[in-house]
Structures are given as structure tokens and as C-alpha cells.
């Protein structure tokens, strides 16, 4: 099969974000398959075009398609929370064009069953055209973890969060909940490049929440951490926490599992699919629920956390980039074989 795989996210602002991670790891794994030829440009013998990204408010998917076309839609967050992701007039017009263009694709790939259901719900796409293919721990993280050492820069035990700070990440609620926990000798470590820019709305809200709750001495922020440093922080964390209101997948959960770090997690959207049974769940819309779950986790005996880690090791085995590539290859084959 001759496939044009659009790698443009690797040369844009998406490079260090989820779309870039997906594009890089999937392309690398696809090239290992003997029955696929991945090309860097569209050629006369191209059989299929795969766009590994979809932007709701920008024209990323052509209306006219000369070749069989697959697009990956990771989540529908802007449509789930329209009041938080206002497109403006131009953005709204582009959204209508993107919706129209979607009607002409041969298949859609997404990361989770939750995202599949929401693509069907918000974009009115037939579920038969949507294929759920999960992600896996990024290879860059695996390589960094193997050479990393436990972080020696933090004195107190800590709960770790790694990721963006968009509305759906629910970081202000995490900070409010953390300020109420019983054990005041535990810190919160937040790793996010987005917190470099203190002038954006989301960052202002987070820094203000830290100040208002008077926990500046217990919240450590890393806004320029290397992959090795992030791996160090995972390795030394007492717990990892994912407080999101909504996720299309949740890669940090798998990174925590790989690091043998137990997880406290919101029970919402795709996160139970990824996390399985070995995590401490909470309701992300309820501050008390988040606080209680953190208290529960921190009070666990070593034997209890060991049991969770064992469940997580089993859960992690369900995810690999080789499997992701093979499942993607199968969708390619199915689409190409269609008349």
C-alpha cells in the first residue's frame, strides 16, 4: 500500500503536543510494516491520504479529495465546551466547511470509544466510519525514562500533574482541592510549558488560585522541563493525578503506569478506558470528591499501592505503538479495498 501520511504537525506548534506525539510515533511504527510504503508527498501511485490531525476552526481538511482519505480526530473538546472555545465568526464559518469536508472522508480514526461516541454525537458521522485505535507510551519518554534518575531536587513527597492547562484540564479545581488535603507535608508539582506565558487567561487563573489558597510554598511549577526531567519527576512522584473534565485519551496516565507511579484519576470521558481498575477515581466536577480521593491515596498502605501498580502493569500491556500501527494499517487496507 502506498500511503501519503501528512507529517506537517512535526513542523508546527503541534510538534511538542499530543498531535505531534501521535504523528511522530505512528509514522515511525508504520514504516516498520513491510506491506506499507509511507511517502512524504502525494505521487501518481498514492492509494490513500491520512491526515493525523483535525482542527475544528481552521481549514485543515480539503473539500475536494482526489484520493481515498482518512483523518484522525483525537477529541471533540471545542464542541463539548462551546462556551469555553468560542471560534468567532470566521472560526464558525471554517467549522461548517470542516464539517462539510468530513462528509467526504472514507474513514475517521480516533483514540477512544468515548471520542468515537462524541464524534458521532457532535459531528453526525456514521459510527461505521469511525475506528477506535488507542495510543501508547511515546518512544521519546521510554528512552528518557531508561536513562533517568529519581529527582533529587524536591524535599517533600509530591503529587504530579503533567500536561496542558486548557479549560478541560481542570487545573484550578485541582489546586483548590489540593489546598484542602489533610497532609500538609505533601507538595503538588505541575509540569506544563503553557505556564511559561503568565499573561494568558488560563495561566492567570492558575497562578491566582495558588495565591488565593495560600499554597505557593507547596506548589512547584516546571514550565521548561526536558523529557528526561519529566521522566525523573514521574519516577520520584508519590502519585500522579489526572483531574481532567474531559480527555480524548490521556497519555500521561500510561506514562505514570510505565513509571510505576500510582494514579489518582477523574472518572470521565475516555479516562476509565485508559486507566482500568488500578487507580483511585474521583468526580472532577466536585472539589470535595477530588480532595477525598487524594486523602484516600495518601493514606494507603504500601501493600495497597503495590496491588494498584500490579493492576497498572497489566493494563499497560494493552497499549503499544506496534499494535496502533497494525490496527491503522488494517483500516488503510479496508478503505483501499472499498470500490
pLDDT tens digits, one per residue of 56-96: 999 999 999 999 999 999 999 999 999 999 999 999 999 99
Domain ranges of the chain: 2-136+320-337, 139-316
Average pLDDT for residues 97-116, to the nearest whole number?
97
Q: Do 2-136+320-337 and 139-316 share a fold?
A: yes
Per-chain mean pLDDT for the chain: 95
Residue 243: enclosing H or E segment and its boundaries?
none
Q: In angstroms, rounded to a whole number, what is the distance separating the alpha carbons of residues 301 and 120?
A: 43
Q: Are strands 48-51 and 2-5 parallel, antiparallel or unpaired?
A: parallel
Question: Domain 2-136+320-337 carries which CATH code?
Answer: 3.40.50.2000
User: How many other CB atoms are found less than 10 A from the CB of residue 229?
Assistant: 16
Asked if pLDDT for residue 339 goes beyond 70, the answer is: no
Question: Domain 139-316 carries which CATH code?
Answer: 3.40.50.2000
Question: Of 103, 101, 140, whose CA–CA distance to 10 is shortest?
Answer: 140
Asked if pLDDT for residue 209 goes beyond 70, the answer is: yes
Asked if pLDDT for residue 15 goes beyond 80, the answer is: no
Q: In angstroms, rounded to a whole number, what is the distance separating the alpha carbons of residues 241 and 191?
A: 12
pLDDT tens digits, one per residue of 155-191: 899 999 999 999 999 999 999 999 999 999 999 999 9
- HEC states along 25-85? HHHHHHCCCCCCEEECCCCCCCCEEEECCCCCCCCCCCCCCCCEEEEECCCCHHHHCCCCC
Of 38-42, 148-152, 187-191, the one with minimum mean pLDDT is 148-152
3-class secondary-structure state, position 114: helix
pLDDT band at 334; cut points 50, 70, 90: very high
pLDDT of residue 303: 97
Asked if pLDDT for residue 307 goes beyond 90, the answer is: yes
Q: In angstroms, rounded to a whole number, what is the distance separating the alpha carbons of residues 302 and 295?
A: 15
Terminal C-alpha separation, the chain: 16
pLDDT of residue 240: 98
* 11: its cell numbers: 513542523
pLDDT tens digits, one per residue of 240-270: 999 999 999 999 999 999 999 999 999 999 9
Amino acid at each position: 500500500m502506498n500511503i501519503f501520511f501528512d507529517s506537517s504537525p512535526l513542523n508546527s506548534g503541534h510538534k511538542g503536543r499530543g498531535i505531534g506525539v501521535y504523528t511522530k510515533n505512528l509514522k515511525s511504527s508504520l514504516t516498520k510494516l513491510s506491506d506499507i510504503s509511507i511517502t512524504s508527498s502525494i505521487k501518481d501511485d498514492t492509494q490513500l491520504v491520512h491526515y493525523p490531525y483535525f482542527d475544528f476552526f481552521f481549514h485543515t481538511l480539503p473539500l475536494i479529495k482526489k484520493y481515498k482519505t482518512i483523518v484522525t480526530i483525537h477529541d471533540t473538546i471545542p464542541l463539548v465546551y462551546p462556551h469555553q472555545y468560542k471560534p468567532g465568526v470566521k472560526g464558525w464559518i471554517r467549522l461548517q466547511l470542516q464539517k462539510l469536508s468530513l462528509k467526504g472522508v472514507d474513514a475517521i480514526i480516533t483514540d477512544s470509544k468515548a471520542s468515537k461516541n462524541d464524534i458521532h454525537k457532535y459531528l453526525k458521522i456514521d459510527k461505521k466510519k469511525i475506528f477506535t485505535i488507542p495510543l501508547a507510551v511515546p518512544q521519546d519518554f521510554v528512552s528518557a525514562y531508561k536513562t533517568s534518575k529519581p529527582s533529587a531536587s524536591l524535599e517533600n513527597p509530591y503529587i504530579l500533574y503533567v500536561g496542558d492547562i486548557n479549560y478541560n484540564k481542570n487545573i484550578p479545581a485541582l489546586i483548590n482541592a489540593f489546598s484542602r488535603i489533610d497532609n500538609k507535608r505533601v507538595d503538588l508539582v505541575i509540569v506544563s510549558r503553557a505556564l511559561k506565558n503568565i499573561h494568558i487567561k488560563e495561566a492567570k487563573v492558575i497562578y491566582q488560585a495558588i495565591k488565593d489558597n495560600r499554597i505557593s510554598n507547596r506548589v512547584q511549577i516546571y514550565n521548561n522541563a526536558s523529557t528526561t526531567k519529566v521522566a525523573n519527576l514521574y519516577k520520584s512522584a508519590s502519585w500522579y493525578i489526572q483531574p481532567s473534565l474531559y480527555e480524548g485519551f490521556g497519555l500521561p496516565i500510561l506514562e505514570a503506569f510505565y513509571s510505576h507511579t500510582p494514579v489518582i484519576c477523574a472518572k470521565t470521558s475516555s479516562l476509565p478506558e485508559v486507566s482500568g481498575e488500578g487507580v483511585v477515581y474521583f468526580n472532577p466536577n466536585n472539589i470535595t470528591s477530588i480532595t477525598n480521593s487524594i486523602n484516600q491515596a495518601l493514606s494507603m498502605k504500601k501493600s495497597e499501592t503495590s496491588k494498584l501498580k500490579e493492576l497498572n502493569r497489566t493494563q499497560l500491556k494493552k497499549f503499544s505503538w506496534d499494535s496502533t500501527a497494525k490496527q491503522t494499517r488494517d483500516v488503510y487496507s479496508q478503505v483501499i479495498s472499498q470500490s
